[in-house]
Copies of this chain bind each other. A is one copy, B any other.
Amino acid sequence: MNNILEEVKKTKLSSQKISNITTDQKNNILEIISEELIKLTDNILQQNKIDVENAIKENLSKALIDRLTLTEKRIKDMSFAIKEIINLDDPVGEIISEWTRPIGIKIRKVRVPLGVILIIYEGRPNVTVEAASLCLKSGNAVILRGSKETINTNCILTDILKKAISKIGLPQETVLFINSTDRKIIYQLLEFDKYIDLVIPRGGEEMVRNIRKKSIIPVLSHGKGLCHTYIDEFADIDMAIKISYNAKVQRPGVCNAMETLLVHKNIANNLLPQLACLYKKSNVELRGCKNTLKILPDIKQATEDDWNTEYLDLILSIKIVNNIDEAIQHINTYGSGHSEAIVTENIDNANKFLREVDAGAVFHNASTRLHDGGVFGLGSEIGISTQKLHARGTMGLKELTTTKYLIYGSGQIRE
């Protein structure tokens, strides 16, 4: 990495090429990547072993070591994930709208690739291959900057990406791997707004916020999920139990799991003891507001901190509210704008909740765990955005594109 700016400029130039190839050509690249991963499994595992041994030497946590470790099975999964991206519709070239003006010009709004996408990520090496494949499928060049703990694995994985790209005659620079662990390089990259069109940080909240602060390039990030389920007084009790249990327990470590349960005071006495019993069997730690403690006297009292915490764990805070307005207000104050749910048989309350709760996805009588590109039928996602600009909620290939107006005239000028 002698001159990072020169490298980035080359990637920008090659982005023009990949933006104009056919869907078949792009799928061809992905096909090669998917196959090479399988063919080169032994070599990948060898390189990964170096990273794992270094991680052990450096006394990294078990969880971290597990995340960076590859196995034959994990490589197969990566290869299969690429096959799924091949099956997705190509968003590039879509005609979004088209109309003719009285002066005779025809205007067409079409979908085009963004250009160059920079992905800064931590931990799992599968991001190298999967995120890059989503960028390539949507016609973008990609710059990859993984963490130093996985540098040997990422090196061989990006070699596979580059080889696949050369094979169909595109410049290798379409994929740029930042083969340096120097942090200063990240800050340099975040200034190159003339050559990089989008930054996608994938990692902890602190890392994402830091990148947002330093970057003059637009940032698209997978946000934190502080999700609520509100059980209205008019809820079907069985459904309420089923949804609340699923939203907390089915997979607690992910962003669309529930962290706080809001319960209408008129249904609390009936609902909470049954639910607490179920949660107890699954080892969920409950923390309740003062009124919850009157019904469930054995649990811990929740503090202000609890309403603000994304546990990502088998912990749940519970608050009894006086009415739906209080529930909405609590969510709009503490929620992260990710996924929120109401359980009720009252249509007016459902509609009020769907309208007034400010979040990427709002559910009526369904679990927040369903907020997912695959479940929604939109294909592999690059994450779930809690931002409001450009992308909100689950982000797929479309969110890696932009639009362009094409105007067809016959000599029209401005009078």
A residues at B contact (CB < 8 Å): 16, 20, 99, 101, 103, 105, 107, 114-115, 197-198, 209, 212-213, 216, 218, 220, 236, 239, 242-243, 246-247, 250-251, 332, 354-356, 358-367, 369-372, 375-377, 387-390, 392-394, 402-414
Contacts and interface: CB of A to CB of B under 8 A. Distances in A.
B356 A16 contact: yes
Contacts of A107: 376-377
Contact of A407 (B16, B101, B355, B366): B366
B376 A405 contact: yes
Contact of A402 (B16, B236, B392): B392
Q: Which 7 A-B pairs have the closest CB atoms?
A: A366-B409, A246-B413, A369-B414, A388-B402, A390-B390, A361-B405, A218-B389
Contacts of A365: 408-412
Given A107-B376, A212-B216, A409 B363 contact: yes
A235 to B, nearest CB: 11
B366 A413 contact: yes
B366 A105 contact: yes
A405 B364 contact: no
17 contacts: A101-B376, A101-B377, A115-B358, A212-B216, A242-B413, A360-B404, A361-B404, A364-B407, A364-B408, A365-B412, A366-B407, A366-B408, A369-B413, A371-B405, A372-B414, A389-B390, A389-B402
A371 to B, nearest CB: 8
A354 B409 contact: no
